[in-house]
Amino acid sequence: MNLENLYHSNMADPEVAKLIKLVKEMQIKQDQLEKENKQLKKRVLELEKRLLQYEGPNSPSSAKPIYKKKSRPDKKPSSNSKKKTRKRKGRKKGHEGSTLVLESDNVVHDYVSHCFNCHEAVELDTQQHIYSYQTVDLPEKISVDISTHHVYEAQCLECDEVTSSGKETLQGTIFGPKLASFLSLLFYKGRVPLRGISAIFSALTELEFSASTIGNSLMTVADQLEEPVEQVTNKVLSSPSVNIDETGYISNITERDVGWIWSFSTPDEVFYRFQESRSGDELVEIWGQDPGGTIAIVDGWRAYNFFPVKQRCWAHILRESHDLAIRRGGVMIAADERISSLFHAINRFKQLRPDSRNSIIWHNALIELEEIIELISSDYREDVLAFATKLVNAKQDLLRAAHTPELPLTNNLAERCLRPLVIHRKIRGFVASERGKQTLTRFATMFETWNLRGDNPYDKLLTILTAGS
β-pair type (153-155, 162-164): antiparallel
What's the confidence (pLDDT) of residue 72?
46
> SS3 letters for 13-34?
CHHHHHHHHHHHHHHHHHHHHH
What's the confidence (pLDDT) of residue 253?
56
Residue 68 — very low, low, confident or very high, per pLDDT cuts 50/70/90? very low
Say whether both 306 and 421 belong to one domain: yes
Distance CA 228, CA 174 (A): 23
Which of 351, 377, 403 terminates a domain? The answer is 403
Which of 355, 373, 403 terminates a domain? The answer is 403
pLDDT digits (tens, 9 = 90+) for 168-183: 667 778 899 999 999 9
Using the predicted structure, report yes or no on whether residue 58 has a pLDDT greater than 60: no
Say whether both 219 and 247 belong to one domain: no
Using the predicted structure, report yes or no on whether residue 337 has a pLDDT greater than 90: yes
In a domain, 398, yes or no: yes
What's the confidence (pLDDT) of residue 180?
93
Q: Which residue has the higher pLDDT, 232 or 162?
A: 232
What's the confidence (pLDDT) of residue 16?
74
pLDDT digits (tens, 9 = 90+) for 93-131: 777 767 778 888 889 999 988 888 888 888 888 888 888
Say whether both 277 and 347 belong to one domain: no
Say whether both 329 and 396 belong to one domain: yes
Q: Structural domain of residue 235, as residue ranges?
A: 224-311+411-467
pTM of the full structure: 0.76
Which of 196, 223, 250 terminates a domain? The answer is 223
Using the predicted structure, report yes or no on whether residue 13 has a pLDDT greater than 90: no
Domain count, the chain: 3
Say whether both 284 and 418 belong to one domain: yes
Nearest to 197 by CA among 213, 212, 186: 186
**Can you tell me the mean pLDDT for 8-30?**
75
Exposed, middle or buried by CB within 10 Å (0-12, 13-18, 19+), for 327? middle
Residue 20 — very low, low, confident or very high, per pLDDT cuts 50/70/90? confident
pLDDT digits (tens, 9 = 90+) for 229-272: 999 999 999 999 999 999 988 876 555 677 899 999 999 999 99
Say whether both 304 and 420 belong to one domain: yes
Say whether both 307 and 453 belong to one domain: yes
What's the confidence (pLDDT) of residue 196?
94
Distance CA 64, CA 71 (A): 21
Say whether both 393 and 342 belong to one domain: yes
What's the confidence (pLDDT) of residue 67?
43
Q: What is the mean pLDDT of the chain?
A: 84
Distance CA 366, CA 375 (A): 14
Exposed, middle or buried by CB within 10 Å (0-12, 13-18, 19+), for 464? middle
What's the confidence (pLDDT) of residue 362?
79
Helical ranges in 206-309 per DSSP H: 211-224, 226-237, 280-287
Say whether both 305 and 442 belong to one domain: yes
Say whether both 231 and 219 belong to one domain: no
Distance CA 43, CA 49 (A): 10
Count CB atoms within 10 A of the CB of residue 216. Answer: 16
Using the predicted structure, report yes or no on whether residue 65 has a pLDDT greater than 80: no
